[in-house]
Amino acid sequence: MSDEQPQAHAAAFLESLREVVGLKSALRETRDDVNVPMIRHWCDAMSDHNPSYTDPDGAAKSVHAGVVAPPSMLDTWAMVGLAPRGEQLSDDGRPVGMLPVMEKLDAAGFTSVVATNTSHDYMRYLRPGDRLRLRSFVMDVSPQKKTFLGEGHFFTTATEYLDAKNQVVGRIEFRVLKFKPGTGTISVDATAPPGPLPRPRPAISRDTKFFWDGVDQGELRIQKCKGCSALHHPPMVRCPKCGGYDLGYVVASGRGTVYSHAEAHHPQFPMFDYPLVAVLVELEEGTRLLTHMVGVAEDEVEIGMPVELAIRATDPELNLPLFGRARPPRRETTLRFEDVKAGDDLDPCPVPITPTLIVGGAMASRDFQDVHHDPDLARKRGSPNIFMNIMTTGGLTTRYVTDWAGPEAILRNMRFRLGAPNYPGDLMTFRGQVNSAAPRGGKGIVEIGVQGMNQLGAHVSGTLELELPRR
Ligand SMILES: [Zn+2]
């Protein structure tokens, strides 16, 4: 067989994939109007406490003059949930959109799919009661490419969202890779989270059992004397203040500050990760606790730094009460454009990746794909565990930036690339900086560069454009 035949075949296949490029689907209705309950689910799942979304009184007094939906929810309004996904047809009845492309790729063996990029543009914020219709089309299908995941085709779809007055209120571009499983340069193992570390076991006695039981239940318990109310840690047999034996405990808030810190260099033990940063945390309750930091480099640790409890399973049998950087407080008064300049850093923000966050985010965005909630099915599909969906990533990224900017900052667009998956038990840390700040048409436009890193690398990197009020 000559080389020309497979090439001609590839060209014909690409041409067939591109048959739908540019063909718009007919307008279709979303399942529900923009509504308050779905906004609340989303804000709960993302821990987004921006009053513009959930506080009618606060929102009424704001630039929005009433409750608005988080802009990154845009594609959530179009999700059909568990209902069967309908075919998309053009006005003249031809099958269009991503489905015909997906079917052809599936039939040719490109059966795996991964989202790689997304781009959102928000023309205005949506309000409860907004009725949306949408239409979509495939923008482009790439020739076959070799990627580290496997050989496949990238394709990009665009979706436009229109309101009841036929105005386009938002637009999303979504790029995915459909690839042949097993043709890449990495195995599934290479994407797996780090394996169990055989950490030394704590010595658990009758007097300390309550403490370790608490850690297993997600609580940090501090011994409290029932006689004189003194708190002590580590737990003791009797109260060092009054000598009493009647001891109980309180559950600590998990908030504190770094009282002192040190880095262990030598000797190094194989059961610990290095650099190993030991910190003495002063808890809000007043006692101190010797522990380790997670997600923070040694040179970033400072005395007085706010920290938060981050209970981590270092192996299947051992949970440890470690500490990470505290989430920066949400700004309640919006930054003025004049107070921001290019090069400014945003405070880093940790996001513990829990099963609750992954599953809650998937449900709040009406994404019922099994890989986001069912560990067994996720493994059958070649993933070591469930992983975060792209809409949750978008929700958390916008939360990070709007918490920094304040409730009256208006998000105009968001563009990001997805990288390493977010698996349960990991910790993602957002970092950001102001790329540019420029007045445009009487408004203050600020572009923020954002990166969310986990233990595997960059989960998300991209830019968001905000409009800030001017003095
Ligand atoms: Zn006492």
Q: Which whole-number Å values give the CA distances from 226 to 100, 175, 233, 285, 432, in the listed order?
A: 69, 60, 15, 16, 47
**Do residues 346 and 283 share a domain?**
no
Domain identity same for 272 and 300? yes
Asked whether residue 196 is assigned to any structural domain, the reply reads no
* pLDDT score of 1 more than 50: no
Which token pair is 391? 């809409």
Using CA atoms, how far apart are residues 86 and 170, in angstroms rounded to an integer? 22
pLDDT at 191 over 70: no
Q: Rounded to the nearest whole angstrom, what is the distance from the C-alpha of residue 232 to the centroid of ligand 1?
A: 9
Residues 238, 356 share a domain = no
Q: State in Å: Cα 226 to ligand 1 middle.
A: 7
Q: Given CA atoms 171, 29, 124, 369 in this order, what sign does their dihedral have?
A: negative
Q: Are residues 216 and 176 in the same domain?
A: no
- As beta bridge partners, residue 257 has 282, 306
241 CA to middle of ligand 1, Å?
Answer: 5
What does the pLDDT look like over 410-421, one tens digit per residue?
Answer: 999 999 999 999
How many separate domains does the chain show? 3
Q: Please give the average per-residue pLDDT across 414-437, as a whole number.
A: 94
Condensed to tens digits (0 to 9), the pLDDT of residues 294-316 reads: 888 888 999 999 999 988 887 77
Contact 210, 221 (CB under 8 A): yes
CA dist., res. 226 & res. 242, Å (int): 10
Point out which residues pair with 450 in neighbouring strands.
432, 462
Same domain, 167 and 249: no
Q: Which residue has the tokens 């009845």?
A: 93
For residue 409, how many other CB atoms are within 10 A of its CB? 26
Helix axes 36-46, 355-364, angle to 10 degrees: 160
Cβ contact 68:43 at 8 Å: no
Residue 125 CB contacts under 8 Å (≥ 6 apart), including other chains: 64, 68, 69, 71, 410
Q: What is the pLDDT of residue 188?
A: 46
pLDDT at position 404 is 98
At 28-75, the pLDDT tens digits run 999 899 999 999 999 999 999 999 999 999 999 999 999 999 999 999
CB 255, CB 281: distance < 8 Å: no
In whole angstroms, give the CA distance from residue 282 to residue 306: 10
Which of 86-100, 202-216, 267-281 is predicted most confidently? Answer: 202-216
| Inside any domain, residue 303 | yes
Residue 289 lies in a domain: yes
Residue 193 binned pLDDT confidence (cut-offs 50, 70, 90) = very low
- pLDDT of 87 above 90: no
Domain end marker among 265, 294, 325 = 325
Residues with CB under 5 A from ligand 1 (ion): 225, 227-228, 230, 239, 241-242, 244
pLDDT-above-70 percentage for the chain: 96
What is the distance in A from the centroid of ligand 1 to the CA of 206? 19
pLDDT value at position 295?
82
* Type of residue found at 283: L
Query: To the nearest 5 percent, what fractions of the chain are helix, strand and coil?
Result: 25, 35, 45
Same-domain status, 291 and 375: no
In a domain, 192, yes or no: no
Q: Residue 331: inside a domain, yes or no? A: no
Tell me the CATH number at 110: 3.10.129.10
C-alpha 452 to ligand 1 mean position (Å): 46
Q: Say how many Å lie between the CA of residue 209 and the centre of ligand 1.
A: 20
Q: Ligand 1 centre and the CA of 203: distance in Å? A: 24
What's the mean pLDDT in 126-141?
96
Percentage of the chain with pLDDT > 90?
A: 72
Q: What is the mean pLDDT of the chain?
A: 91
pLDDT band at 124 (very low <50, low <70, confident <90, very high): very high
Rounded CA gap, 63 and 387, in Å? 36
The pLDDT assigned to 194 comes to 47
Name the residue range of residue 437's domain.
Answer: 336-471
